[in-house]
Amino acid sequence: MAAQAATYFESGRSSSRRIEERNARLFAEQQRLRRGPTLEVFFPKRIDNSRLVKAPDTVRVREMRIFAAAVTMLFSLVMFYGWQHFSSIEIGYNVEAKKQQVELLREQNRQLKLTEAELSQPNRIDSMARQMGLTEVQPQQVVHTADQVTTSAPALAQMNPAAGKLAPTP
């Protein structure tokens, strides 16, 4: 078997040598047939195609119009989808921003209610009034308007000199 493989490779080498020798012989024959430095000469030929008119291909024009319409429709749908998608993302960001703003306003409202409750404590108001020199209301300083009106007749406005003055500070 080894002998068969060796003869196979030998025959392959000899055939490639034969091909190389044949190619070299043909190349030498081509060089002998050449006459001078130029192998081939090309002559330009001017062709005037200005009188030719392309025949209109109505089927191709129709196909191109259908293709253009399909591409335009596909492009429009993709753009509409993109616009809708990015709008929903933007709206989501706006909703989150509004939620944060609502939470901030709720916190401010809570702080303001705490401040109002702190400032409207009766003990605090009483101590501030005493610091400014105000005193408690005396019974004769209070005028009840419900006791004076007994008739349904119109009443004239009158000034009571004792009721118009505040009690002097001691």
> Is 167 within 8 Å of 141 (Cβ atoms)?
yes
Q: Which two tokens stand for residue 75?
A: 């492009």
pLDDT at residue 52 in the model: 87
In angstroms, the Cα distances linking 60 to 57, 65, 67, 72, 90 are 5, 9, 10, 18, 44
Q: How far is CA 133 from the centre of its chain?
A: 64
The beta strand positions in the chain, using DSSP E, are: none
- pLDDT tens, position by position, 25-66: 988 888 777 665 656 667 888 888 888 888 889 999 999 999
